[in-house]
Structure 1
Amino acid sequence: MGEDGSLYVIDNENYEVRRYRRGESEGTVVAGGNGIGHDPSQLFEPQYIFVDRDHSVYISEHGQQRVSKWVEGAKERIIVAGGNGKGTDLTRMVYIEGIVVDRFGTVYVADRGNNRIMRWPKGATQGSIIVGGNGLGQEPNQLNMPF
């Protein structure tokens, strides 16, 4: 949900995110909409979205292990976290899920496959682990497939 009350919806079958303003019955494509793929104008298995104050849409893309940012009006994404394939190092993630972006543009990602939450500061080429990352488990320093 945007601060202006607009509803943002992932349409998985069309690989796009649509914005529905109050009173609208037809949404506007704000990200993707060009089929599945690797092209900067396409999405690959979008999972979760976050909308910031500037109406930029952040999307966790399960299929590419990345978070993409779509500035309002943009036709192509900017990769702001991951995008380097699956892995355990600080430049890679596995099966990413929920995302939150703070007012400074720092992206927080639930890296489900690595049982950790990562922080990616604006412009960073690698993230840092802020919670978990110590294997799957029940201990206080472990997570169990976070969303």
Structure 2
Amino acid sequence: GNRLDQLCDPWYVFVDQNNSVYVSDCGNHRVMKWMEGETQGIIVAGVQGQGNSLTQLSSPEGVIVDELGTVYVSDNGNDRIMRWTKGSTQGSVIVGGNGRGEQSNQLDGPIGLSFDRHGNLYVADWGNHRIQKFNIESNK
């Protein structure tokens, strides 16, 4: 379902240091957050349904959250990685967003993502059969 207490095709889950649970709700094109003990979630990314604007996602998959509450999402259907700062209703494109392709600034169906301890972002670029590494610290 699409209510705040429901999911549709959840793909990835991330649990932060406060035991809040973040879920990429792929079928609803959003990322949900449930604080510990809550039965209803809040939308933290993808607040306006499916699309390619900075307020929208298309089939989000990988999701991670940093210590400041910034949400990073593999926006699979838009071939980009989005960053949503805590409390914002609009994200920013930090990787990709240049159309589907195989150039170093393009992605093809990004799936998972992870940070190393130096702040480098690793992206599983599914359609290009590769893992890409990006230094995004300069973009913060």
TM range (shorter): 0.7 to 0.9
- Paired residues of 1:64 and 1:83 also in contact (CA < 8 A): no
Mapped to 1, the partners of 2:58 and 2:103 lie a distance apart of 21
Matches within 5 A, 1:72-91: 72-91=36-55
Normalised by the size of structure 2, how large is the TM-score? 0.77
Instruction: Tell me which stretches of 4 or more aligned residues in structure 1 moved more than 2 Å.
Output: none
The alignment-based identity, stated in percent, is: 56
Count residues with an aligned counterpart.
111
Instruction: Tell me which residue corresponds to 2:4.
Output: 40
8 Å CA contact 2:20, 2:36 repeated in 1: yes
**For residues 83 and 66 of structure 1, what CA distance do their matches in structure 2 show?**
7
Unaligned runs of 5+ in 2: 112-140
Cα RMSD between the aligned structures?
A: 0.8
Displacement after TM superposition at 1:41 (Å) = 1.5
Cα distance in 1 between the residues matched to 2:67 and 2:34 = 16
C-alpha distance in 1, partners of 2:3/2:105? Answer: 38
Structure with bigger helix share is 2
Alignment of 1:1-147 (within 5 A): 37-147=1-111
CA distance in 2, matches of 1:134, 1:106: 23
